[in-house]
Amino acid sequence: MKMKYIKSTVAIVVIMQIFVSCKKDFLELQPKGTTLEDNFYKNEKEFMQGVIAVYDVMQWGNTGGYTMKQPLLSAASDDCWAGGSNASDQPSWVAYDNFNMNSFVGPQGGLWSKNYSGINRANLILSKIDQSTVLTPAFKTRIVAEVKFLRAYFYFDLVRWFGNVPLIVDVLPTDQLYKQTQSTPALVYAQIEKDLREAVAGLPATISSAEKGRISAGAAKAQLGKVLLYQNDNAKLAEAATLFEDINKDGNIYGYKLMPVYADIFNPANKFNTESILEIPHSNNAAWGDWGWINGGEGNVAPQFIGMDSYVGDTYSSGWGFCPVTLDLVNALKTDPRFSATIIDGAALKTAGATYNQRYQNTDYFIKKYAPLKAYRSTVGTAELNWQINEIEIRLADTYLMQAEALVKSGSNPTRAQALLDAVRGRVGLTAVPATLDNIYNERRLELATEGHRFFDLVRTGRAVTVLGPLGYKAGKSEYLPIPQAEIDVTKGIIKQNPGYN
């Protein structure tokens, strides 16, 4: 995917330029000239390019610093350390790892900018659709649903990371750019739920092979269920469980099934496999080589980030040595069948003759699920920027465990909760354990390790202080990132800083 754009924060949400010729692969654009926004959106092809531009933002990993969601959240949790060459290599990652961010230091600037860029693009498309008379009803219904899903997706990240955020659902006039106040999480969640419910109604159940990467009704239901569960509102648990059941039941209309072999989920040859519900695609089609604007390519820089530094040996390509796996996670998984698919044992590789540099916070254990593989190293563009390894953000085992959690919390169907937990464990040959909340939470850690779920799981279930407190986490502060100081300054203090930050 590729698009020129003017970055959208709360303060900059006016213009979006659209490239006007489309490549063969879905969710990718080839620049061959630009058209002013006022003269664009004359037909379905141009509207589709605008929708692709909204999808595009999901893929970004370098907005105001490296902000790839999976490794960043792994570093914030007890799964991984920040790593790198030293504590000054990526100070925003080290600050998040140690929970000593401030209004200037941390990953907040990039995350704020990325998500408001997506929201701005979504709002623009929705405003243009309202004005259009050229769209067929079926086309309009589907793209409205997709864009509302995407707007909800970006707001879900914002509200989880920042709490009180401006809620913008229209294209703002110029005189309102610096006047947007923050809304409470309750109001933001209400808008997210509204967008997702409307998305479910307008999306197809399945996606054709030519359109992999587009959102299905199943993905929208999974995201809505996740949003409901995250809010810790007992009144919403029944609906969340029902949504998950539609996805998880045998013979579901979406075609989801657990992959028989756990490691196969993460094999790049198995993109959009039967377990994948929400997957962010990456390719090397752009042959990208611009370090100044990494988001302009379609590649995934995260594998480069987490790979072993200066590695020489079989299977893996060299990386930068970030996100070494903690010994805490190593010990938790040591006797688990999923260990070999989750964690690279660097010491074992060295024994077999491989070499790599030990970097900051080295443990000799590294993330395997999205590691840079020699077989997928790009032969075009700058290889480090063109990893064609997708990110699976929601998968079926995740929704099994979320449904089990919702059922146990509501006390509504313990038998079904047990069956879901048993299925996740049984897939890797583990025997049954009682479907208690503690066992479900533990299973989430082991099943989803290094996939970016752990930090928010700890926060939403009230376990963050116990688990992350020794690492610097403070209740009433560390749940959220600081608001970027630039947003406070440009709005002359209309936007307020989160508690505990200066």
Say if 122 falls within a structural domain: yes
Q: How many domains does the chain have?
A: 2
SS3 labels along 142-188: HHHHHHHHHHHHHHHHHHHHHCCEECCCCCCCHHHCCCCCEECHHHH
Say if 245 falls within a structural domain: no
**CA dist., res. 4 & res. 280, Å (int):** 20
Contacts for 462 with CB less than 8 Å, ≥ 6 apart: none
Predicted pLDDT of residue 157: 98
Predicted pLDDT of residue 38: 73
- Based on the fold, state whether residues 26 and 131 are members of the same structural domain: yes
- Based on the fold, state whether residues 49 and 179 are members of the same structural domain: yes
Predicted pLDDT of residue 179: 94
H or E element, residue 393: strand 391-395
How far from 490 is each of 123, 154, 184, 486, 500, CA to CA, in Å? 22, 22, 21, 6, 21
CATH of the domain at 41: 1.25.40.890
Predicted pLDDT of residue 36: 62
User: Which residues of the chain fall short of a pLDDT of 70?
Assistant: 1-36
**C-alpha Rg value of the chain to the nearest Å:** 22
For residue 158, count CB atoms less than 10 angstroms from its CB and return exposed for 0-12, middle for 13-18, buried for 19 or more.
buried
Predicted pLDDT of residue 209: 94
For residue 471, count CB atoms less than 10 angstroms from its CB and return exposed for 0-12, middle for 13-18, buried for 19 or more.
middle
Predicted pLDDT of residue 460: 98
Write down the residue that tokens 């092979």 correspond to.
Answer: 209
387, 407, 422 - which closes a domain: 387
Tokens linked to 479: 């749940």
Predicted pLDDT of residue 250: 97
- Based on the fold, state whether residues 176 and 304 are members of the same structural domain: no
**CA dist., res. 483 & res. 113, Å (int):** 11
117-127 pLDDT per residue, tens: 999 999 999 99
Say if 62 falls within a structural domain: yes
- Based on the fold, state whether residues 195 and 305 are members of the same structural domain: no
453-496 pLDDT per residue, tens: 999 999 999 999 999 999 999 999 999 999 999 999 999 999 99
Q: Is the dihedral of CA 396, 399, 403, 409 positive or negative?
A: positive
Confirm if 140 and 198 have CB atoms less than 8 A apart.
no
Say if 58 falls within a structural domain: yes
For residue 132, count CB atoms less than 10 angstroms from its CB and return exposed for 0-12, middle for 13-18, buried for 19 or more.
middle
Query: Could you write out the DSSP letters of every residue in 424-439?
Result: HHHHTTPPP----HHH
358, 387, 416 - which closes a domain: 387
Say if 101 falls within a structural domain: no
- Based on the fold, state whether residues 320 and 179 are members of the same structural domain: no
The reply to whether the predicted model has a pTM over 0.85 is yes
Tokens linked to 28: 């990718």
- Based on the fold, state whether residues 147 and 29 are members of the same structural domain: yes
Say if 84 falls within a structural domain: no
Predicted pLDDT of residue 35: 54
**β partners of residue 392:** 279
Domain span holding position 308: 291-387
Say if 48 falls within a structural domain: yes
Tokens linked to 292: 């100044």
367, 387, 407 - which closes a domain: 387
- Based on the fold, state whether residues 299 and 151 are members of the same structural domain: no
- Based on the fold, state whether residues 43 and 167 are members of the same structural domain: yes
Say if 219 falls within a structural domain: no
